[in-house]
Amino acid sequence: MKKIGAFEAKTHLSQILSDIEKKEDEIIIQKRGKNVAVLISFNEFTHLHEHQKTSQILDGFREIRMSQKSHSGKHAPDIKSLIDMGRKR
């Protein structure tokens, strides 16, 4: 991971974009010695974004699964049990 100053980033933007596109590497842009931005390729951004969406979906499924457990730690009744309870005898 390369670190460059804001002035250098401004001055050599075309070359930096070419490097990012070819190498799929990250560049940290600093201002007065402090990190202010990270420049990554669009492909890397897309990959990270898709991974984040997948993680959010899986977290949602985990949350739903955990909400289906009763307080005693046993699973909630299954669909067949609920159907059988609703049938008139």
**Same-domain check for residues 32 and 58:** no
Indicate which CATH number applies to the domain containing 23: 3.40.1620.10
Within 10 Å of residue 49's Cβ, how many Cβ atoms?
10
H/E element holding 60?
helix 42-67
Largest CA distance in the chain: 82
pLDDT band per the 50, 70, 90 thresholds, residue 10: very high
Q: Which domain holds residue 54?
A: 44-86
Q: What is the pLDDT of residues 37-67, one digit of tens each?
A: 999 998 888 888 898 889 888 888 888 877 7
User: Are 27 and 48 within one domain?
Assistant: no
If one counts the domains in the chain, the total is 2
